[in-house]
Amino acid sequence: MRIFSFKIITILFTCIAVLSFSQVQKSRAVTLMGSRFDITVVDSHEGKADKSIDLAIKEISRIEDLISEWKPETEISKVNKNAGIKSVKVSAEVLNLTEKALYFSEITDGAFDISIAALDKIWKFDDSMNEIPADSLIRKSIEKVGYQNIIIDRKNSTVFLKKPGMKIGFGSIGKGYAADAARELLKKNGVKGGIINASGDLSTWGNQADGSLWTIGINNPFKENIAEVLQFKEYSVTTSGSYEKFAEINGIRYSHIINPKTGMPSTGLTSVTVIGKDATSANGFSTSVMVLGKKKGIKLINNFPEFQYLLITDKGKIIKSKNFKNIYP
C-alpha cells in the first residue's frame, strides 16, 4: 500500500494591500473544526479588517458548537446519544442542514449519507493494509448506516435516529457550510470582499483590494502543477479526493472516501472539484461524485447546470463540464 499527499486548492492573493482609496486586504490562518481555515477580508482599514476576521472566526466556532460530533454538548452529539431512544429537539439551523444532507442522499440513492459517521473503521490509510477486508467485515461495517433511518419532524423541530448505535456527522458538508455562513455574516456587516478557505472548501465575494478578481488554482496531483486557474467574484469551490489519503492494494487505488451503501472505498477518480454559488451544495456534489464514480457522477451533476466540475481520474485524465469557463465571473 502507498499513501500520497497533495494539496489540491491553492489560493493566490496579496496578503496585505493598501491602496490610495484606503482599502486593506488582510489574511489570517487559524485552526477551526479540526482543520485549517484561511480567512481573507477587504476592509477600510487594518483594525476593522482584524475585527472582521475575528467575527468570521466567532461564526465558524458557533457552527462547530452546533454540529460537531466530537464535542459532547453539541446538538448533533445529543442526537447521536439518543439514537434508538428518543427524538431530540434541535435548532432550525441544524434541522435545515440535516434536511440538506438528506436531499443529497435522496438524489444520489444513498451515495451521500451523513449516517456514515457510524461506519466501523475497518479500512486503514496508515500504510498498514495490504489486502481488502473480508466481505463479512465490510457488510458488518455498514449495519448502522442508512439515511432512511434519520427521521425529521419539522413541526416539532426534532431529529430521531431509529437504530441504536446510529450516528450522524457533517464532515462532508460542515466546513463548506461554515464558509458560507461566515461569508454571509461578513457581507451583512458591510465587508466588501473576502475569501473563506476551509482547507480547500471556499467561498468568495467582492474583489481583492486592488480591484482584481479572486484567483484560485486547482492543482493537478499527478503533475504537481496547476490544472486550471479560475477568476471570479462571488462563487464557491470545493474539492473532494484521494490526493491526501488512499490505499493502493494490488495496483488499485482505494480512496479514504467510503461508499455508504457498500462499505467499499471509492475508486476511479483522484479528485472532484465543483464550482457553484454555495460551498454547502458544492461539497455535497463533490463528495457524491467521488463515491458514484465518473460515469454516474457526471450523469448526476449534469442535471444541475448551475454547478460546474473538473474531475481528475486515477489515470490523470482531466474532465471538465461543458460550460466550465462560462460560470464566472
Question: What nine digits make up the cell of 308?
Answer: 460546474
Q: Give the pLDDT confidence score for residue 13 in this predicted structure.
A: 46
Non-local (6+) Cβ contacts of 47 within 8 A are: none
Question: What nine digits make up the cell of 73?
Answer: 454538548
Are the C-beta atoms of 307 and 285 separated by less than 8 Å?
yes
| Separation of alpha carbons 329 and 215, rounded Å | 11
pLDDT digits (tens, 9 = 90+) for 70-99: 999 999 999 999 999 999 999 999 999 999
Helix ranges restricted to H, the chain: 46-67, 75-81, 92-107, 135-141, 174-188, 279-292, 294-301
Report the DSSP pairing between strands 35-43 and 193-198: antiparallel
> What is residue 129's DSSP assignment?
-
Average pLDDT, rounded, for the chain: 90
Residue 132 phi, psi dihedral angles, 5° rounding: -75, 140
Q: Prior bond to 329 cis, omega within 30?
A: yes
- Mean pLDDT over 287-315 rounds to 96
**Model-level pTM?**
0.91
| Separation of alpha carbons 300 and 285, rounded Å | 9
- Mean pLDDT over 315-323 rounds to 92
Q: Give the pLDDT confidence score for residue 15 in this predicted structure.
A: 43
The answer, yes or no, to whether residue 11 has pLDDT greater than 90, is: no
Q: What letters, b where the CB count within 10 A reaches 16 and e where it falls short, cover 162-201?
A: ebeebbbbbbbbbbbbbbbbbbebbeeeebebbbbbbbbb
In this structure, the number of other CB atoms found within 10 A of the CB of residue 319 comes to: 15
Domains of the chain: 9-67+175-326 (3.10.520.10), 75-161 (1.10.3980.10)
| Separation of alpha carbons 120 and 263, rounded Å | 9
> What is residue 131's DSSP assignment?
S
Q: How confident is the model at residue 249 (pLDDT cuts 50, 70, 90)?
A: confident
The answer, yes or no, to whether residue 325 has pLDDT greater than 90, is: no
Q: Give the pLDDT confidence score for residue 252 in this predicted structure.
A: 82
Distance of CA 274 to the CA centre of its chain: 10
Question: What nine digits make up the cell of 285?
Answer: 456534489
